[in-house]
Amino acid sequence: MRYASRTSVVAAACALCVPVCIAQAQQVSEEDELALIYGDKSSVSIATGSRQPLRRAPAVATVITAQDIAAMGATDLDEVLETVPGIHVGRSNQGYPPLYLIRGIYSEFNPQTLVLQNGLPMTTLFVGNRGNVSPGWPIDNIARIEIIRGPGSALYGADAFSGIINVITKTAADTPGTELGFRAGSFKARDGWVQHGGKLGEIDVAAYLRVGRTDGFKEIVTADAQTFLDALFPPPRVSLAPGPVNTGYDAIDGSLDLAYDKLRLRASYKWRDNVGTGAGAASALDPVGKGRSERLTADFSWSDIGLAKDWKLALNASYFQNINQFPSPLQLFPPGAFVGSFPNGMLGAPNTWERQLRLAAVSSYSGFANHNLRVGVGHDDLNLYRTQEFKNFILTTGLPQPTPGAEVIEFPVAASFLEPHRRKVTYVYAQDEWNFARDWALTGGIRRDQYSDFGGTTNPRLALVWDASLDLTAKLLYGRAFRAPAFTEQYSINNPVIRGNPSLQPETITTLEAAFAWQARPNTQVNLNLFRYQMKDIIRAADAGAGTSMFSNTGAQHGHGLELEATWDASRNLRLAGHYAYQRSIDESSGQDAGYAPHHHLFARADWSFAGGWLFSGQANHVAGRKRAAGDVRPDIADYTTVDLTLRNSRGKNRWEFAASVRNLFGADVREPSLAPGVLLPNDLPMARRSIYLQAIYRL
């Protein structure tokens, strides 16, 4: 009887355990399936400089993997970033370069968002952005993208202001073997690439080369700056509007990654030619101006060097060179402009050459119980070493005057738009990750940057992370950041409308955030982020008398908002994800909405895998509530909704992989706001309607 009782207990236990074991096995299998489709998104390194679980990272962070990019059918970095909560990709008036607007913080060139490539800043010195003549960032060689929304100057220094985007390229481990790819689509776009990962003796080698071109979309601008001038002067009317924007370019991208033990050498090359000017550099349509840019990067790192017990050291040296030229001068205004003063158009070509050398050392110490100390020092040598300007006009306090015969000539450097300048930066920072109690961690950091041209700035941050339960993590974050003045803001010359100001100080921002990560169910993740920020010393044009302006630290802005995101693995074959972001930003000088950025951003995506490796993905993006800035009396920018569809065989059994995508399926009229007061481009900046892409990849 006792034996029978024990047998019954064992049988009952087995009966209970078998479903659990089956469920666990099924969960592991599903996790493996999802990892194949989306990659590892559970860890992040951008938040502290070392890899840690995303859920416990002391920041509001997002990770996007190569597999995730492929699933969404993106062909460019801009399309990927538009899917991130709190980020909207806008466009600048000058040449249509992208603006990565984070949490409502807008400016003409978007220097407040720091973009890194493998940790190396891509910031150019001239206007402080990623370059006005550098369109397109291909995604085929991206391993993962790590994004922080919120300040990061305590770790990354200048321009880690509204957020940080770190694009990490593929290593040999990410690209085993050789891959050949080709993509073609709308606007006569075509790209071909080859990438390889393998061994050369004891050295891990990854190489990538891509060649492409596009005519660009040609949406119509109905009225431009010359339309406005035509209304002021007697006939004839010479505006080229209505007319198409000019967004085409040719492209070459290459990279090389060599790794041996703890040593790594990375190099990349980006070349763009025949780059169109969008809606025109002066907001007047320009069908003839063409830009060219070359960007070369190289960085050498030696990591995980054992100095002593519990001490480790990492060393890094990097080089960045960027050249922007206009072989075909910009047509600032069309032929016949300014009462016929310029029969061939008002032409100009501002060319720049710059190089940046950065040296850094970071040491970590783990000898204290429950502490992880990190100390870093570095020196940056930032040199805009050459400027050159060709033009056929002279700016005066009245109308621009033509050169003799309105011929394009090279002006002396001292009479050009900007002379060469050099900036040196020395910095030191310290950070401590302290697990002071079970389930509690406090990360504190502070960084001091000393600039050769405007002095020093100190920026702290604090992050308290609490694992409230197995399913819930809460974070309270505080940070301060700065944006260094761009060289054009400090040193612009020979411009009677706006002058540079060598006395400028950096813009600053202070942000407070609360974040919650909730594993609502085993298959459902929900995140909620709340934020409030205060910007001071914003660099803007201010009246300098005699009808001119000067860049000054005159602006202030505050804002608040939230980001709610959720992911639901509805079944083994179906994932649903989406987010809603809200922000409200106030310009304190006017007391009105700061304008330009959407108040509401709603995104939804569904991925369905079926039939042995095929994946169908659909996503909808709704942008709403974009107000006009102070002084702009136009109606608010129209809301829009786009729908994108992608079909791909993501894990085919043979060596081929195919994909087809359609973006903006229903041809929504997407427009990004032009600058206030709106008289130059009154109907804003039109974006592409429907586009279709086909892609084939062959793996050797």
pLDDT tens-place string over residues 125-181: 999 999 999 999 999 999 999 999 999 999 999 999 999 999 999 999 999 999 999
Contact by Cβ (8 Å): 214, 189: yes
What share of the chain has pLDDT > 90, as a percent?
Answer: 86
Tell me, what's the pLDDT at 651?
A: 57
**What pLDDT score does 214 carry?**
97
Q: Any idea which residue has 């790590």 for tokens?
A: 146
> What length is written for the chain?
700
Phi, psi (5° rounding) for residue 216?
A: 75, 160
Residue 42's pLDDT is: 81
Which residues does 684 contact at the CB level (< 8 Å), separation at least 6? Answer: 637, 671, 672, 673, 674
How far CA 677 is from CA of 595, 630, 634, 635, in Å, comes to 11, 8, 8, 12
pLDDT tens digits for range 200-230: 999 999 999 999 999 999 999 999 999 999 9
- At residue 22 the predicted structure's pLDDT band, cuts being 50, 70 and 90, is very low
Beta-carbon contacts of 405 under 8 Å, excluding residues fewer than 6 positions away, are: none
Closest-CA residue to 295 (of 519, 125, 495, 90): 125
What is the reported pLDDT for 510? 98
Question: Whole-angstrom Cα distance, residue 351 to residue 411?
Answer: 12
Q: Residue 206 is encoded by which pair of tokens?
A: 């990854």
Percent of the chain with pLDDT over 70: 93
The stretch 343-363 carries a mean pLDDT of 97
* CB distance 431 to 373 below 8 Å: yes
What is the rounded distance in angstroms from the CA atom of residue 103 to the CA atom of residue 560?
8
549-557 mean pLDDT: 95
Per-residue pLDDT at 49: 86
pLDDT class for 16, splitting at 50, 70, 90?
very low
pLDDT value, residue 94:
83
Task: Give mean pLDDT, residues 255-266.
Answer: 98
Residue 140: C-alpha distances to residues 83, 219, 689 (Å): 18, 27, 24
Residue in 225, 255, 252, 468 with CA at minimum distance from that of residue 331? 225
Domain locations along the chain = 39-699
Could you report the per-residue pLDDT of 96-105, keeping only the tens digit for each? 999 999 999 9
The rounded distance, in Å, linking the Cα atoms of 248 and 274 is 7
- On the question of pLDDT at 601 being above 60, the answer is yes
> Residues 75-96: pLDDT tens digits?
999 999 999 999 999 999 888 9
Q: At 105, give phi and psi (nearest 5°).
A: -90, 110
Reported as a pLDDT band with limits 50, 70 and 90, residue 25 is very low
- Give the residue among 49, 83, 258 at the shortest CA–CA distance from 621: 83
> Is pLDDT at 313 greater than 60 in this prediction?
yes
**Model confidence pLDDT, tens digit, residues 282-300:** 999 999 999 999 999 999 9
Cis peptide before 677 (omega within 30 of 0): yes
pLDDT score of 35? 55
Is residue 3 over pLDDT 70? no
Instruction: Tell me how crowded residue 385 is: count the other CB atoms within 10 A of its CB.
Output: 13
- Residues 6 or more apart whose Cβ sits within 8 Å of residue 419: 387, 413, 491, 493
Token pair recorded at residue 237? 């009317």
Q: What is the average pLDDT value for the chain, to the nearest integer? A: 92
Given this model, what pLDDT does residue 12 score?
A: 35
Among 23-27, 447-451, 556-560, 602-606, which is the least confidently predicted range? 23-27
| Residue 34: per-residue pLDDT | 53
pLDDT of the residue at 5: 38
Q: Is the pLDDT of residue 503 over 70?
A: yes
Q: Report residue 481's pLDDT band, with 50, 70 and 90 as the boundaries.
A: very high
pLDDT for position 546:
66
Average pLDDT over residues 57-68: 94
* CA dist., res. 487 & res. 472, Å (int): 46
pLDDT at residue 498 in the model: 86
In this prediction, residues 409-437 reach a mean pLDDT of 96
What topology is assigned to 39-699 in CATH?
Maltoporin; Chain A (2.40.170)
pLDDT for 28 equals: 42
pLDDT value of residue 449: 98
Whether 553 shows a pLDDT value over 90: the answer reads: yes
The β-bridge partners of 200 are: 203
